[in-house]
């Protein structure tokens, strides 16, 4: 079985599950990803100074709409795309809260590509999107959907709006499974 097949077949607590990766929370301390085992999680690399930044509003609405049914958006700040997330943890948190009312959890700022790619993204990028793209994250706001079983169930391009029909259908399908 290839690494990407292992990742797709991972379960929470499995060494290949994205939810088993240690990562810090935006404001410090561990983000405790295993707490999301059994939930549907949308992992999104985010940035505050990007043309796609208004997607924060849709991400928050999606989070609020489905949280009670076992869904979580997880924002992962990244400054690798034209320096569009230059702020400190406090600045990022303040911006997200004040500008978009973000209540979903956020992790520390990490690299999603290259030699310093965070292990969370090592476990995500092998999954193909609808067009067959695998590998490096293409831009801010690329989305990875993880099912209740801890498997990567979908990948969506940065331009896919959080409330796009195909993304909402995928979330609802996993919540009903």
How far apart (Å, rounded) are the C-alpha atoms in residues 129 and 77?
A: 21
Q: Which of 50, 145, 170, 174 is catalytic?
A: 50
- Give the phi and the psi of residue 72 in degrees, each rounded to 5: -140, 135
What is the three-class DSSP state of 170?
A: helix
**Selection from 106, 94, 102 nearest residue 59 by Cα:** 102
How far apart (Å, rounded) are the C-alpha atoms in residues 74 and 126?
A: 19
Does residue 78 carry a catalytic annotation?
Answer: no
- Supply the DSSP symbol for 144: E
Active site members: 50
């Amino acid at each position: 079985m290839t690494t990407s097949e292992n990742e797709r077949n991972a379960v929470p607590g499995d060494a290949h599950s994205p939810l088993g990766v240690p990562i810090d929370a935006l404001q410090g301390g561990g983000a405790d990803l295993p707490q999301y085992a059994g939930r549907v999680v949308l992992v999104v690399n985010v940035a505050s100074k990007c043309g796609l930044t208004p997607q924060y509003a849709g991400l928050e609405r999606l989070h609020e709409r489905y949280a009670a049914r076992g869904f979580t958006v997880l924002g992962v700040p990244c400054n690798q795309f034209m320096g569009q997330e230059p702020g400190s943890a406090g600045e990022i948190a303040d911006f997200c809260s004040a500008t978009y009312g973000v209540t979903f959890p956020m992790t520390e700022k990490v690299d999603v590509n290259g030699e310093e790619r965070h292990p969370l993204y090592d476990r995500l990028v092998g999954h193909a999107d609808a067009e067959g793209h695998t590998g490096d994250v293409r831009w801010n706001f690329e989305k990875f959907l993880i099912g209740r079983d801890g498997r990567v169930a979908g990948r969506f391009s940065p331009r896919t709006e959080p409330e796009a029909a195909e993304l909402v259908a995928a979330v609802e399908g996993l919540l009903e499974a």
